[in-house]
Every structure is written in C-alpha cells, then in structure tokens.
Structure 1
C-alpha cells in the first residue's frame, strides 16, 4: 500500500480509519510491527517554537495527556507519542490501536437497537472509570460519544478513545464544533466553545441514554445547518424525552413478553443518575468523573435493588410487590431514625442490650464516681486499722500496792488478798480477751481468703 503522506520517521501510514470535523484517524505501524492509531489535528503549525501560541497550547495539552498514562487504565486508550507531521506540519497524537467495534456500531443491525440492562451497567461503570482516570489529572476529553468508545475484543473492556478536542485551543474547538458530526452528544456550554469537566459528564449521560432508549435525546436529521441548529436548541432549551417510553417501543417488536418485562426493569438509581448528568446547568451535574464513578459504584453495589420505579419501569404483576417493598422500607427507615434518637437516652438510664437473650435490661446498681468509691474504701481501711490497733495494744493498768507495815491485822491481810485476787482475775480476763480477739481476726482473715477464691468478684457501686 502506498503512503498517502508521511506521518513521522519510523511511523508508517496504513490508510485512514475515519475522518471528522476534529481531524482524521489513520492506522499506523511502527517498525516491529506495532500497530497504532494516529489522530491528526486539522490546524497546521508552521513554527515549532513556544513563542507560537498554537504550538504552546498543543505542548501543554499533550503534557496533560501524558499524565493520563502515568498510571494506565484498562478503559482509557494509551498515548504512545505526539509531534508534528513531516508533511503538512499537522499536530498529531499516536495512540494504541484497539481491535474491536465502536459502541455506536453495536447499536446498528444486526445488533439490537438497545443494550440489555446488564450490559448498560457494564458500560456505565467502565466509562465512568475512564472519565475519573482522566479528570484526576485535569484532562477534559471534550468529545465523549458512542463512536469514541470501543469494545476491546481481546480484553472485553470498553475503552475511551480519541483525545482530539483535548489538545485544541478554545478557538479551534469553536470552529471544529460548527462542522463536527457529534452535535447530538454536546453539552449546552460546548456550543459557546467552553469545555468543562462537567461537559464530559453531560456527554456520558447522552451515551447511557442512547443505550437504554435506542437513540439520543435529540437526533440529527440531515446534515444541514438547520438540522444542527435544531439539535443545539434541543440541548439548550428542551426537556429530555422519557427514555423508558422509547425503550419500551424499541423492545416490543424485538423480544418476547417475558424478556421484555425483564429488560424494562431498569434500576431507578440509574435513571436518576442519567437525569443528573443531563442537567442544562453544569453546576447541577456531577462535578467530575471521580464523583460520577462513585455514584455508579454505589448504585451497582446497592442491594436489594431499589423498587421505587414508575409504571413504565416495572411489569404490572410486580407493581403490588414494589409498593409493599417501598412501604416497608419507609417504615424501617423511620424506626431506625427513632432508635438513633432513643439510644443515647437508654444508655444514660442504664438500659442495656443482652446479646444472649436478645432482650433489654436495666441495671439496679447505684452509680457513683470513681473518686467517691476510692474515698469510701480508704475510710473503711482506716476504721478497721484503728480497731485492730486498739485490740492489739496492751493497756498499762497500774494497781497501787499497800504500804508495808510491820504489823498486819487479819482484816488488812484479808483485804490485801481480796485485792490481789481482783488484780489476778482482771489480768486473766484481759489475756483471754486478747487471745479471743486474735483468734477472731485470724478466722476472719482465713474466711476472707477462702471466699475470695470461691466467689466471683462482684460490682461495687456499679463501677467495677
């Protein structure tokens, strides 16, 4: 095959893959051979110097694209190289070549006009992951449409392609948009040449709408300026048509009744997500791809699926069950809110939950602070120590002796003997009392130790 023109040294041109207002895509081959896809930007750059505004903008945007590939994503095409062509001085970016059909081709015969719910959810998750990957490094794609998403037959993943508008200046985007063929996917602000992170979110919503409904909200009928203006006005001013009504009409002549009912059960969260993506005001959409991807992930992982659907999204035999499910769900949510309010009050009142019995009980202990408890213990110890000390300490009981006289009358002798007997009896009584006290203390200590071993430690004042 003869070359149409030279791309760059070592990069062979194998012919055009497709052409459009933003440029043309050619199949290339590096020495090896390694196949790639080359995106040519239609505005030439004659001075490769940073003093040239177009060349400077091109380098800045290419640097951003290179950041996208710092960490590879299975849902974003890899950027291999970039530069200026040897012939014509056209800026180009070289991307990996993805083998497989475009998403738009999968909606044409012999394929079905709409995607199944399962496959739509797969596209929703993977395309949201692709936008999150780009928006993390502040790269706006600017041309998200079904023809720029490919199904990789080798990995079974959907891959976002073609970063042509991402490397254009604002004036180039305005000129390109006026002649582009993807006006059906463009956000309202894009018609003024603006490109925001929310612009990609809007185009993402159009793709999901197309997969569910079988067509975009505002189809382009004809290639003239009048037809393009009609589509543009639709995005700027008109309400988005009901996707479920279009889906039902496109499914009725294709599937049997049981399959039709199943394929009409589109999750409500997905319809709400698409509705938010397609808001006219960019501030009312998801702020970026990261927020969008999080919403998709939460929706897919939510279980059971939300049955808050309309009559158009549920078969008739399931409407009664859906109403019952919604009513039960509302009651559960109300009870959970009441429980969250009452739980702190129950804990404060000493009401606790017994896991073994599954019931609630209230503690009958007197609650005191730890400081008060320790003070009571210290006071008890001091009282016991004082009593023990008094019992164990001998008393100095001095009995006065009678003066010695050379003569003692029988009366004096009897009196002396009586006093001596009293003294002896008192000493015996004290000695016996001390022995009994010591034995009682010893017995009490022994009993305390035995009780400590046999019985479990009990709470005291509700603290320990």
Structure 2
C-alpha cells in the first residue's frame, strides 16, 4: 500500500498496518463517515491492468458480495468492499469489523492447548463453516492464521470465501494462464490438492488445526510445498496422543476421522462434527433447521495447488505439485529395488521386483508405479495364522512373522510411506492363535503361548523404537489380546477377576471380581465390558453399570449399535438368536432367529458381529426360522428392511457368510461375490472370483492359477467397494495372501513367500 495515499474511496483513512500476507495487506483504518474503527484488507494480488486482471477483479467483487451476505457471530463481518487506485494499479479492498485479540497462530506458537478449549474453538469454527457451506461457499484456507480469538473469547473465522473468490482458476473461462493458486499446503486436503475441493475439504483443514492445537505441531512436517502435498496425498496422519501423551482417546478418533484421505470417511457435515465436539465437552445444543440458499457453483474441474505460507504460487509450482500424485518417493537402501517397464500403448505398467517373488501388473495409468515399496521377511506362515499379520498405525506398518508349528515369533516395523525398516524383535515362543498382536496408544502388544500351551505372556514394545516396556503372564492365551479401544486399556482375566491394564506401563488401572469359579471371560462392547454372570462394567473405570441373570451371550462376541448391543444368545425357536439389548440397562430391544444348526460354543464357530453391521443396517445371511433368504434389518428397531432375492451360497457361519464394507455388504454367491447396498439391498457390483477379502473401502478378489506342472500363483484384483471399479490387478508367486490392511490410498498385503507389498491404489 502506498503511504502517500492514506484515504481509500474518500472514506477510509488508513491508520497503521496490521499485517501482510500472500494476498495483500491489512490496515487498521477509520471510517470517516460513521466515525468507527475498521479493518481494511487490500487484495494486492489482483492489482494491475489488462482485460484478464479486470475480469479477475470483477469476479472477486461479485463473489465477495456473496460472502459479505453471511451474517454469523463466528464469521468476521464485512462492512463494505470496493476498488482503489494504488501505486500497483486498481486494487480491490474489503472493509471488515476491527477485532481486538490474537490469531490462533500466535496461540499455537506458545504450545499445546487444553482439550476443553480446543473443543470450544473447534465448535465455533464448525458453526461458521455450517453457515457458509449452507450458502454454497467454501473457505479452502482454514488455518490458525485465519482463525481469530477476540478479546471476549469468541472465535471469528477470517477471509471466509475470499480464497475462492480470489482464485483466478475458479471461473468458467478458467484463466489458468495467470498461474494464481489458493490454499496453504500444510493444511490442504488431498482432494483439494488434486483440484477437487468440497465441503469436507474444509473439515480436513480444521482437523489439521485441531491436531496442531492439541500437540503444538502439524500432523506432517515437510521442507516445502511439494513435501506437504505429498504427505497429505499419501501419508497416514499420526494419532495426536503419539506426539502428546496426555491427549485422550476420543480426540485421537475424532482427529483421525477428520484426516482420512477419503472425504467420505470424514464427518458428513460441519454440523455433525460440531455435535461431536460438543459431546466431548458435555455441552449439547439444538441444531437449528438448515437455512436454504441458492448455492454458488463450485467448479468440479478446477485445478488447485498450494504453497505455505503464501496463498499464491506460480504455474511451475502447480505443474510440479501435479506430478506428486504419481511419485512413490525416494526409497531407503534397505528396500528392495524395482523398475518400471512402461508399456504406453497397452496402458499397462509391469513392475519387476529384483530378488522378489512376484511380477506385478497395473491397469490404468502406465506412468504410475503401483508398488510403493516391498520388503522380504523371513519365516512367514500366513496359512496357519488366525490373527492379523499386518497392522497399520500412526504411519507405521507392523508385521507379525513366525511359524506356529516351529514355535517362532517375531515383530517387524516399517515406515508406511517409504518402506524403511524401523526395528525388529524376536520372541522365543509361538504366537497365540487368535488376536496375537495389536497397536494401541503408541504401544505394540504381542501375545505368545506359554510352554504349557494354555497360559500365555503379553509383551509390550514402544511402537516407534521397538524397545521393550514390560511383560506379564496371562492365564488364558486363547482369549487373545483384548483392547478396550475407547479407554485404550488391555483387558485380561486373572482367576475370577477381570482387570484393566495400562498398555504403556503394564500397571493395573482397575479390577472387578466377577465371582467366577473359572478363569473370568469377557466381551468388549463399545464403552462396556460384559463379564461372566451378565455383569456390564464401564471399560474406562471398571465401575459396574448393570447385571442381568438372563444375559448369557454365546462366543464372547458383541457389537455396539446405536444405543444397543448386538449379541448371539440361545434361541427360542432355533439354536441361536441375534439379540439387541439396551446398552445402559441390558433390556432386550429386539431379537431374531439367526442360526438353525447347533453351535460348538467356541468363538471360532461364530462370525464376528461387526461383519454383519453396516451403518444401522444388520444383515442376516443365513436361513433360520421363517427366513428363507438373506435379510437386512433396521438395527435400531429390528424391523425388516429388505430381502436379497437372488440365489446365494450358503456357508457355515464361521466361514464368513457375509462381510460389511462402507455402505454395504459383500455376500458369496454361486457365481462369485456380490456387493449389496446397505440402504436398500441394490446390487452394487458382482465379481467372478470365489475368494474375497475386504477392508472398509476396498475388496481384494483373488484366485489360484497354475501354469506348466509345478508353478502356481495367486491372481489378485483390488476394487473399490462402492462401485466395484478395478483399481489394481497383480499376481503373487504364492498360493496364499494375508488379509489386506489399508490406510488412505495404501494397501499392504503379505504373501505366502514372505514378501510384504505396499500398493498405491
């Protein structure tokens, strides 16, 4: 701004500069007409002459007027806007209320903030976002510098909608020649970096802010724009508690959901997130009816890139950022070498792995290497493994190796982004056959069998370094590792008691005597732990909530659903019923016949209940009672929702008669698996393979093939569960492949020959 021209539009006298950023300058000014102090933001990036600059300024003023129409207590008020002649040329400016206080960027520089304060500020940002999203306006640059805490303690969102209004690529004529891009890379959602911003992109950015407030640092650290973009596109975000141990588990879950790579896995709206934040503070607020606006059109084809800390970057930066999506990044020297054989005409890229056991084939973009990295692991037995082989957590890939019959066990840890080996530990025992290892609160818990093969021993290791923290015996390794996720406690039984153990220290937090003559057994069910004798206790404190003598669930399985708990229980007309009970009292809400054959009363004879639930829909895949076809129920009421009328393949319950995925169910049929929508049972897709393994968002379809006399391999196809679109195809020189583990757009599998593959889809 030119200090020799202290008055804008003959009305606003500039008093002193308050700050300068990538878009322009902010001044404290005096409105000489109304005699009040105001803040004036001069958008210097739109200064200059020529038709293109004139067009950009006109569009900016048009969209800024739409933004100025927003009236909300947590959105800074825009009083006026116009244009002024400066030394740089004709420049748009906005006149806003003058705030006294400080930005959240100044707050976070002082260190982490308390959870209650973070929740209050986050709720206020959500309220502002909800108002703007209802008007069809995206912010696209939520960051601490654009969040201001007034002297009253109330938070205000700055520059709402201005980021989009100032983006020269956001018009129908696209104006891409200007090279003007909007956003801050350190807070930018993956889909926004790809040029597809949406409402939940603002929620992702808010997730980065909440992470920073809780921990004092960003979820990703990078030296430049491309580094941040790459991290947001590909790297899983760590849990806040892994950097700030005092952060509670509910915050880990909330922030983790906000930082999901897929927008559909985040909160569906700012209002839903606000309600969750209020729930964390114990404050409830009636949600007003949504206001109806005529939305501004968001160009779904626009391109965007980012560059911290400025909101503007050149066209060269955009071109470089666009290539990041296709880059797997540099590999550590310990990672197996690979080369891409590009077959441009066929649209197929073949990747030959030196010293590996498989040839991989990618359908789709021939310029993109599908294998991010691979590692060879010795002594692998995926066939005799009942527990997980691979667990992804906090940006690391943890792998369990070893042979059950050889009584060997080992843990490996790799960096999920690069494949760099982090640590390895050996355990002089055989793995437990059930849930043998898991990761919780930065700790790897491993369960091995004792010498008598009845009891066992739990080992705890630091997830970052592999350093052993503690070990202790358990009376029954057959129960597997039971971690109560809401509290983060390890649950085990000793004699007739159930106890909760801190996984970081191994110290007992609580214990409850269930008066069992045998080793106590329990079921994890949401916030509750269901113990012998029909006793329900709160997992965080061990406090008894209710006792019901009529509650005798089968198979040590339960699944929270809304305000209820699903359990297998003795049936009235068939051997097994599926029963939904109220979580707070244990009373029966509804029951339905489930299994017509007599079970063997072991957990292995029952399908995990979470595989029968998608959202609030419960799927009953087997005929029982009057039911002759697979049927879906409303899980909140028990009423029939829909029936699958086509032929299907009836299998034993323990063989996974169905599995739930995001918004649906995968059901085996005589001609291959079919994916049904949970809402109405409509067929999403059908495959011709017999074996299917799933994560929440991906399905891995596989089959064994043979060539010549002695050579056999497994062909694999990975599809998206929503539409069944093929994302990747490949072959493994092995007849067995582990259950897949997924994080963001990465899928990790371990094949029977001992090669660990990280595949970008």
**Other-structure match for 1:141:** 139
Q: Deviations over 1:190-232 (max 9, x none)?
A: 33444321221111000000011110111344xxxxx221111
**For residues 275 and 184 of structure 1, what CA distance do their matches in structure 2 show?**
16
Assess, with a 3 A threshold, how the Cα gap between structure 1 residues 40 and 189 changes in structure 2: closer, same or farther.
Answer: farther
- Please say if 1:274 is aligned against 2:272: no
How do 1:413-428 and structure 2 match up within 5 A?
none
> 1:53 Cα shift?
3.8
Within a 5 Å distance, the mapping from 1:197-236 to structure 2 comes to 197-221=199-223, 227-236=224-233
Q: Which residue of 2 aligns with 1:165?
A: 163
Are positions 1:184 and 2:183 aligned together?
no
Q: Is the 8 A contact 2:78 2:97 kept in 1?
A: yes
Alignment match, 1:289:
270
- Give 1:261's aligned residue: none
Q: Give the 3-state SS of the residue equivalent to 1:132 in structure 2.
A: helix
Distance 2:271 2:76 in 1: 18
Q: Which has the higher contact order (CA 8 A, sep 6+)?
A: 1
**How far apart are 1:29 and its partner, in Å?**
1.8
Q: Residues of 1 paired with 2:283 and 2:12: CA distance?
A: 48
CA contact (8 A) 1:265 1:314 kept: no
Q: Look up the SS of the partner of 2:103 in the other structure.
A: coil
Distance in 1 separating the partners of 2:138 and 2:263 = 14
- The 1:176/1:295 distance shift into structure 2, 3 A limit, reads farther
The answer to whether the 8 Å contact 1:15/1:27 transfers is yes
Q: Distance in 1 between matches of 2:503 and 2:202?
A: 27
1:30 to 2:31 alignment: yes
Is 2:587 the partner of 1:341?
no
Q: Offset of 1:66 from its aligned partner?
A: 2.3
Residues 362-411 of structure 1: per-residue CA shift (max 9 Å, x gap): xxxxxxxxxxxxxxxxxxxxxxxxxxxxxxxxxxxxxxxxxxxxxxxxxx
Tell me, in whole angstroms, the C-alpha distance in 2 between the residues paired with 1:296 and 1:271.
Answer: 12
* Distance across 1 between alignment mates of 2:99 and 2:93: 18
Q: Give the equivalent residue in structure 2 for 1:450.
A: none
SS at the partner of 1:217? coil
Which residues of 2 match residues 427-442 of structure 1 at below 5 A?
Answer: none
Q: Answer yes or no: is the 8 Å Cα contact 1:14–1:27 preserved in 2.
A: yes
- CA 106–315 in structure 1, closer or farther in 2 if over 3 Å, else same: farther
Aligned-pair distance for 1:161? Answer: 1.1
The equivalent of 1:195 in structure 2 is 197
Number of the residue aligned with 2:282:
301
Structure 1 residue 302 displacement after superposition:
7.9
How much has 1:149 moved relative to structure 2?
A: 0.9
Q: CA deviation at 1:342?
A: 6.4
Which residue number corresponds to residue 16 of structure 1? 17
The answer (yes or no) to whether the contact 2:84–2:90 under 8 Å persists in 1 is yes
Shift of 1:152: 0.6
Is the CA contact 2:239–2:252 (under 8 Å) kept in the aligned structure 1? Answer: no
State how far apart, in whole Å, the 1-side matches of 2:63 and 2:590 are: 53
In 2: Cα distance, 1:118 partner to 1:202 partner: 20
Aligned partner of 1:115 among 113, 116, 120: 113
Q: Distance between the aligned counterparts of 1:136 and 1:45, measured in 2?
A: 34
1:82 and 2:331 correspond: no
CA shift at 1:61, angstroms? 1.2
Does the CA-based 8 Å contact 1:177-1:183 persist in structure 2? no
1:325 matches 2:538: yes
**Per the alignment, do residues 318 and 54 of structure 1 end up closer, same or farther by CA in structure 2, a change over 3 Å counting?**
farther
How much does 1:292 deviate?
2.5
CA spacing shift, 1:189–1:45, aligned 2, 3 Å: farther
1:318 & 1:152 partners in 2: Cα distance? 44
Question: Which of the numbers 147, 150, 157 marks the counterpart of 1:152?
Answer: 150
Structure 2 gaps of 5+ residues are 285-483, 490-501, 512-526, 530-536, 546-557, 567-580, 593-761
Task: Give the distance between the partners of 2:147 and 2:283, measured in 1 at CA.
Answer: 27
Residue number in structure 2 paired with 1:43? 46
- Shift of residue 318, structure 1, vs aligned partner: 7.6
Bigger fraction of residues in helix: 1
Taking structure 1 as the reference length, what is the TM-score of the superposition? Answer: 0.58
Q: Equivalents in 1 of 2:503, 2:200: separation in Å?
A: 28
User: Which secondary structure does the structure 1 equivalent of 2:30 belong to?
Assistant: strand
Structure number with bigger Rg: 1
Matched residue of 1:38: which SS? Answer: strand
Structure 1 residue 145, shift from structure 2 partner = 0.3
Distance 1:230 1:272 in 2: 25
The CA distance in 2 between the partners of 1:170 and 1:196, in whole Å, is 18
Measure, in 2, the Cα distance between the counterparts of 1:105 and 1:7: 29
Deviation at 1:85, TM superposition (A): 1.6
Return closer, same or farther for 1:170/1:2 CA change in 2, 3 Å cut-off: closer
Query: In 2 relative to 1, CA 280–143 (structure 1 residues): closer, same or farther, beyond 3 Å?
Result: same
Count of residues in Structure 1 that have an aligned counterpart in Structure 2: 310
Structure 2 distance, partners of 1:121, 1:219, is: 24
> Could you tell me how far 1:54 is from its partner in structure 2?
2.1
User: Counterpart in 1 of 2:106?
Assistant: 105
Residue 266 to residue 33, structure 1, CA distance change in 2 (3 Å): farther
TM-fit CA distance, 1:247: 1.0
CA distance in 1, matches of 2:200, 2:27: 29
CA RMSD of aligned residues (A): 3.6
Cα contact 2:104–2:148 (8 A) shared by 1: yes
Give the Å deviation of 1:299. Answer: 4.3
User: Are 2:126 and 2:273, in contact at CA under 8 Å, matched by a contact in 1?
Assistant: yes
